[in-house]
Structure formats: structure tokens, C-alpha cells
Amino acid sequence: MTERRATCHCGAVELRVTLSAPLESAARCDCSFCRRRAAPNVSARRENVHVVRGAETLTRYGFGTDTAQHYFCRICGIYMYHVRRSDPSECGVNLGTLEGVNPAEYEPMRWNDGVNHPSDR
């Protein structure tokens, strides 16, 4: 497991994240929300996502069943991470927020089928 620092664009939010999967496993989702957001994410256990700075600046967005909880910086709007609806003990962390990581290096990227998600049945 690799510990990483993640920051939003304006620097108001900083996370310390221990990833549970390699960067090469990053994926995109095609659900109605993620398709519009277009940010690839990589997995981390929920207990391994720590807000170092800016907890009061994070804002949450949920839709549908509200199981997936998406967290953004309320100042610059950057999506930081979300709690997965398929497994609420897991988070997807925005690959682009991880310090020293260029998401373009991981293309082509796998797509997850969020349109036909089992949690929506």
C-alpha cells in the first residue's frame, strides 16, 4: 500500500491517502454523474482517507440512493474523492489530485459500468 498526498487546485483541501490498489488500476465510471465529471479514480479503504487540512471546506454531493457520497472543495470545485456505493468501506480517490501523478500516463483507462450498477437494481 502506498501513502499519497492529495490536494485540490486552490490548496484549501489536503488529504493523506493510503491506496489499496496500484495507480495502474485507475478507472473511470460511466454513471450519469461520473461521466460528466470525467475524473479517473483509484481505490483506498475509507479508513485510509484522512483530511489533513480543509475539512470545513469539503462539501458533499449525493444523488439517487445517496449511498455514494462525493466530496469537493467548495472554493475551487475540485472533486477529491467519493465513498463507493458498491462498497461503502471503499473510496475512489481522484487520480488527478495525487501529488506527482499525471493521469495521462495511465491511458487508455478502464471504464466501470455505472449505468447498470447492481446497487441500483
Domains of the chain: 2-120 (2.170.150.70)
End-to-end CA separation in angstroms for the chain: 33
Q: By the 8 A CB rule, do 68 and 60 touch?
A: no
Residue 111 pLDDT > 80? no
Neighbours of 102 (CB within 10 A): 10
Return the higher-pLDDT residue of 100 and 38: 100
pLDDT grade for 108, boundaries at 50, 70 and 90: confident
Please name the amino acid found at residue 6. Answer: A
Cell 500500500 appears where? 1
**What does the pLDDT read at residue 120?**
53
Whether the model pTM is above 0.85 = yes
pLDDT grade for 110, boundaries at 50, 70 and 90: low
